[in-house]
């Protein structure tokens, strides 16, 4: 087994595991949304505990949306990468030059969605815990 084969296998393994992790986080986020949707107390909007619970639910919903968008942009990046590799294999530099900006764009979007998803996930669960604590001591 040559060095090239090992690097390809490692890259394939990384892609598969990253995709599985993204789907796991998305599923856990949606499960959290379902749980919150069933268990949080609802009330009038204002500066109160039910509004805090609702904000945490909406933040988790936004996190799920960003998780979907991340998976979508990863698929777009793979497609653009495939187009670029095809252009290289067929010795078509004009096509490769067209695909490179798309590759850079979707790579940047993938990272942005990753960071935003994680940030909103943290904010949503932190908001839920804060609302639970305030419910107990308020």
Residues whose CB falls within 8 Å of the CB of residue 123, separated by 6 or more in sequence, listed in order: 56, 59
Q: Percentage of residues in the chain with pLDDT exceeding 70? A: 97
Q: What is the pLDDT of residue 2?
A: 58
Q: What's the whole-model pTM score?
A: 0.88
**pLDDT grade, residue 3 (50/70/90)?**
low
**pLDDT grade, residue 33 (50/70/90)?**
very high
Q: Measuring CA to CA, which residue among 96, 116, 120 is closest to residue 108?
A: 116
pLDDT tens digits for 86-108?
988 999 888 889 999 999 999 99
**pLDDT grade, residue 68 (50/70/90)?**
very high
Checking if the pLDDT of 74 tops 60, the result is yes
Residues whose CB falls within 8 Å of the CB of residue 87, separated by 6 or more in sequence, listed in order: 93, 95, 96, 99
Structural domain harbouring 26: 3-137
> How many structural domains compose the chain?
1
Is residue 70 within 8 A of residue 113, CB to CB? The reply is yes
pLDDT tens digits for 115-126?
999 999 999 999
Is residue 53 within 8 A of residue 33, CB to CB? The reply is no
pLDDT tens digits for 46-55?
999 999 999 9
One-letter-per-residue 3-state SS of the chain = CCHHHHHHHHHHHHHHHHHHHHHHHHHHHHHHHHHHHHHCCCCCCCCCHHHHHHHHHHHHHHHHHHHHHHHHHHHHHHHHHHHHHHHHHCCCHHHHHHHHHHHHHHHHHHHHHHHHHHHHHHHHHHHHHHHHHHHHHC
Q: What is the pLDDT of residue 8?
A: 81
Q: What mean pLDDT value characterizes the chain?
A: 92
């Amino acid at each position: 087994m040559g060095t090239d084969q090992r690097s390809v296998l490692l890259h394939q393994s990384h892609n598969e595991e990253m995709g599985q992790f993204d789907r796991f986080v998305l599923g856990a986020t949606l499960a959290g949304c379902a749980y919150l949707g069933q268990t949080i107390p609802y009330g009038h909007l204002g500066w109160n505990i039910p509004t805090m619970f609702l904000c945490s639910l909406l933040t988790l919903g936004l996190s799920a949306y960003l998780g979907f968008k991340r998976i979508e942009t990863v698929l777009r990046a793979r497609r653009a990468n495939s187009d670029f590799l095809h252009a290289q294999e067929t010795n078509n530099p004009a096509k490769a030059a067209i695909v490179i900006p798309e590759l850079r764009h979707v790579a940047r979007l993938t990272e942005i969605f990753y960071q935003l998803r994680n940030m909103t996930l943290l904010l949503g669960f932190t908001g839920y815990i804060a609302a639970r604590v305030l419910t107990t001591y308020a």
